[in-house]
Structure 1
């Protein structure tokens, strides 16, 4: 009986150990599967045929002289002296509109005419004052002669002189009013609305027959010859900005056409709640002729030229919110080569050519995605900083990285 119990205990212990061994193996297998799954998320393999067809090229990290830039957004604009909002100093009925929106006008061009009878009274006042001045001037000369000969008292001469001065002041005031309205001292009751600058007519805010009020903008005229940029630069970047730096900017609505500018002014106060400061850059007049005030631009302010680790621009790809490059894994190549040699030995010497042809379709070249932080891009190269260190002699994919990204996502997977 004791022997039976002993054997039963031994059997129970062996079963328990067996179950623990199975559980341990299962957990280990699960860990290995999870590891393989995690590993496959940032790795991709190509067959030898795919590798040749795609034209994958590799290189090494290089030190390149690149322009460090600060990115900024902004708008095209013109200085205040090159933009005119034209109104009238006297109200009246719009008689004629002589221009159209978008047409070029020279300084002094009559844009419209306004009819107002008050200007007729101004002309009458001026002409009346001029006539009185002529009479009083003669009377003043006569009284002066008599006063010098002690014929008339000097008081009469002074009264005539006072009247003469009043009429001169009235004539000057009337003339100044007419000149402010761009009118002559003789003429019609039509007040001309004149452009104070040369430029293109913008919005026209009046209609023929309507009443034009004072202080209301009737025409907009813009001179684009002095176009410049207003760029919004954040506070953290202000210390790197200075007058004379070059700016490269593109117009998103003109096929990303690249244009250059030079910084000529930096505001000394924050322009809005976003804590940005307006930086002004002058544009070459030859490049600004097709620009319109208010165009949105994306610009790079060139800070300095420095040597940084860089790769060709197409070597860096974006996946979600992160950037990656691909390196070729050497150990995978070696294992593949050893497997190929072993397989060829098994095939035998008589079938060597067939084995090579067959293995070319199954040999794999493995690549691994490495996260990087891109910096400035210049002359076709992008500055890169690796999140984790890589081998000094790592083969980095310089051509075909986008294909590898597609393959890794499932768009370029191959059949085994």
Structure 2
């Protein structure tokens, strides 16, 4: 009787143990993540520098590659020369030095300058006498007192000297000598050559004591306030280029810093043998002009057919066996993130973003945009 009672107790205990074991296994199965779920602790999320984000609208476009240089418009360049040669008396400029319009660049001296001023003053003095004589003969001729011959002679002498006087005045102005301020006590042996524009000196081709011939370039000046882009585009791509399109460009030794510009003018001539066409662009931000120097080589992309599409950072999209996936946050509880691996259809990729063709499926869901690569399989 006691033996039967003991057997019954053992049987009940075994049944209870089996039931408990079954319940625990069921709970573990219910709490276990599905095959497309990934659990990350908050500590793992932080230590791995993971980030969450949402699908946003980004610009995508076709890229036309071009090369070119930083330049300035012709009116912002000046090669300084002289109309009348002379010996360089003084020059104190260095390449890179800034100058203001009207500032003295260098001085020239030449005995011919003295002769030109003397001729001007002589013509001015004669002109006063000849004007009076011309007016007198004109009046006498009108009154039939003087002969026509004397009147015409006075007229010829006066206008000949008047013409010489005006021409000499213009020559002096070309020497930066003001003829109106000239008198016999102010005859200069030298002339000052002035800067025609504001800017920076790029070349100094003269030295003190050198004879500078007419039209020989003495100093070059460039104003960098309005830099522009001069690009070369192959003729096969030129029909896609339009005024107002965006330009992204960089310096060859810098792979990370891009600058922005706009197409301003498309050339109308093809240059051989490269078969390229010039495209003129402006900087979007003129304040960046100080970062560039005319003549710098650049590599550029012209953005055509530009439009906005839903997109994610390219690091958020992982491709596995011809399919693409993202991790969508399902929940955050008990210091744990639960992500669901979802398939996505992708389109274009530009500037670190990838177009998501089925973006409507995810709405405002939070997505792992950094750190997904090692988690998706």
**Common topology (TM > 0.5):** yes
**Are 2:193 and 1:199 aligned?**
no
Contact 1:270–1:276 (Cα < 8 Å) also in 2: yes
1:6-155 alignment, distance < 5 Å? 65-68=58-61, 69-155=63-149
C-alpha separation between the residues in 2 aligned to 1:376 and 1:328?
19
Q: Deviations over 1:222-277 (max 9, x none)?
A: 01111100112122221221001121222345674332211110001123422221
Residue 134 of structure 1: how far off its partner (Å): 0.5
Q: Is the 8 A contact 1:376 1:383 kept in 2?
A: yes
Greater fraction helix: 1
The residue correspondences of 1:237-316 to structure 2 (distance < 5 A) are 237-253=237-253, 256-283=256-283, 284-306=285-307, 312-314=313-315
SS at match of 2:68: strand
After TM superposition, the score normalised by the length of structure 2 is: 0.66
1:255–1:204 CA distance, 2 compared to 1 (3 A) = farther
Q: Which residue of 1 aligns with 2:228?
A: 228
Contact 1:311 1:398 in 2 (8 A): no
Q: Partners in 2 of 1:71 and 1:198 — Cα distance?
A: 34
More strand by share: 2
Matched residue, 1:388: none
Other-structure match for 1:377 = 350
Provide the secondary structure at the position in 1 that maps to 2:239.
Answer: helix
1:205 Cα deviation from its structure 2 partner: 0.6
Please tell me whether the aligned partners of residues 93 and 204 of structure 2 are also in contact (alpha carbons under 8 angstroms).
no
Mean CA deviation greater in 122-131 or 186-195: 186-195
1:177 pairs, out of 171, 176, 181, with 171
| 1:271-317 C-alpha deviation (Å, 9 max, x unpaired) | 3422221111111321213321011222222213347897744589x
Task: Work out the CA distance in 1 between the residues paired with 2:191 and 2:168.
Answer: 15
Change (3 A) 1:383 1:230: farther
Query: Alignment partner of 1:226: what SS?
Result: coil
CA RMSD of the aligned region, Å? 3.7
Consecutive unaligned residues of structure 2, counting only runs of 5 or more, are 1-43, 324-346, 357-368
Structure-2 separation of matches of 1:277 and 1:376 = 28
SS of residue matched to 1:126: helix
Q: What number of residue pairs does the alignment pair up?
A: 289
Decide whether aligned partners of structure 1 residues 158 and 272 sit closer, same or farther in structure 2, where only a CA change above 3 A counts.
Answer: same
- Gaps of at least 5 residues in structure 1 are 1-51, 317-324, 331-373, 385-396, 405-416
Match status 1:327 vs 2:300: no
- 2: CA distance between counterparts of 1:307 and 1:101? 47
Change (3 A) 1:114 1:63: closer
Q: Is the 8 A contact 1:77 1:228 kept in 2?
A: yes
The answer to whether the 8 A contact 1:112-1:193 is kept is yes
Matches within 5 A, 1:200-219: 200-219=200-219
Please tell me whether the aligned partners of residues 67 and 303 of structure 1 are also in contact (alpha carbons under 8 angstroms).
Answer: no
Summarize the Cα distance change of 1:291–1:274 in structure 2 as closer, same or farther, 3 Å threshold. Answer: same
Whole-angstrom distance in 1 between the partners of 2:49 and 2:226: 49
The equivalent residue for 2:31 is none
